[in-house]
Amino acid sequence: MKKVKALVITGYGINCEEELAAAYKLAGAESKIVHLNDIFLEKESIHEYDILNFPGGFSFGDDLGSGKVLANKMKYKKMESGKTLLDEIKDFLTQGKFIFGICNGFQFLVKMGLLPNTNGNFEQEVTLTRNNSAKYEDRWIHLKKNPKCNTPFLKDIDIIPCPVRHGEGKLIIKNEEIKKEIQQKNLNTFSYCDANGKITSEYPLNPNGADLDCAALTDPTGQVLGMMPHPEAFLSLYNHPNWGQIKRQNPNISEDGEGLKIFKNIVGHINRKDREGAK
């Protein structure tokens, strides 16, 4: 069987490419880390891959606001072919392929207009900006999935713990209409919650004060997912801050981290889709 191919972008201050690439390998896919400039120089094409991934980090040091400089590059920088990378990405999505952005990757997907993209016109409708705490923080939080959301990334997930590691993760929605659209279309895929799954705006359970307590967005097709927390930082049980006690309480627990599920989901989905396609 042909292996699912994941492209992980790096360069310009992106930091989390290695663990993201590892996530796909652990989920049974092939993954390749490629410098963004090699794509601009058309040495690599995104169309060779099934999933395009934008990892976390501080692209361009987050100068001018998180993800902004990178988003500008994708939107405006012309390649030799005369196209922008955003044009290529639109083609990529038209083919039914998938995009995943985490943390800085999510920030940049919203600034490019790929998320939530309620009307499919790729205009910026939300932003991610400074946490209400005015601090960068690394802490583990819980996420509750919107049960009605429609994205193959999150199948069979209800509540998962994950670390957040950001200073600019507060989602602000442009206006009430877009907020309604997001809610009606169930594009807010993950909300910050307490350990029992109760959605909350209480700090630090909700670490940034996001609108709708929202930690992740998808687009109406479900092909694009962006999230502030880092599932790729929870590939192994031993990433969890309480693994010692968890293992004591449940000695036979799987050594996989719960974040890995998301990657297994999408890889599995593409595999099934390919099999169905082959039939």
Here the tokens at position 181 are: 């659209």
Identify which of residues 124 and 183 has a Cβ nearer to another protein in the complex: 124
Q: How far is the CB of 148 from another protein (least distance, A)?
A: 25
Q: How far is the CB of 273 from another protein (least distance, A)?
A: 27
List strands edge to edge, sheet with 30-35: 30-35, 5-10, 51-54, 98-102, 224-227, 214-218, 188-193, 137-145, 159-166
Identify which of residues 137 and 274 has a Cβ nearer to another protein in the complex: 137
Residues sharing a CB contact under 8 Å with residue 96, sequence separation 6 or more, in sequence order: 223, 273
Residue 232 is a catalytic residue: yes
Report the alpha-carbon distance of residue 157 to residue 109 in Å, rounded. 23
Identify which of residues 4 and 128 has a Cβ nearer to another protein in the complex: 128
Active-site entry in 103, 149, 193, 214: 103
Active-site entry in 142, 230, 240, 269: 230
Residue 103 is a catalytic residue: yes
Q: How far is the CB of 278 from another protein (least distance, A)?
A: 31
- φ, ψ of residue 276 to 5 degrees: the values are -65, -40
Active-site entry in 17, 19, 168, 232: 232
Residue 159, class by beta-carbon neighbours within 10 Å (0-12 exposed, 13-18 middle, 19+ buried)?
middle
Q: How far is the CB of 279 from another protein (least distance, A)?
A: 34
- φ, ψ of residue 240 to 5 degrees: the values are -70, 135
Looking up tokens 């790096």, which residue turns up? 10
Identify which of residues 110 and 215 has a Cβ nearer to another protein in the complex: 110
Three-state SS string across 60-80, please?
HHHCCCCCHHHHHHHHHCECC
Q: How far is the CB of 35 from another protein (least distance, A)?
A: 7
Q: Could you list the residues that contact another protein (CB under 8 A)?
A: 10-16, 18-19, 22, 25-26, 35, 37-38, 41, 56-58, 60-65, 68-69, 72-73, 75-78, 111, 124-127, 129-140, 163, 165, 172-174, 232-233, 235-236, 238-239, 241-245, 248-249, 255
Q: Which residues are catalytic?
A: 103, 230, 232
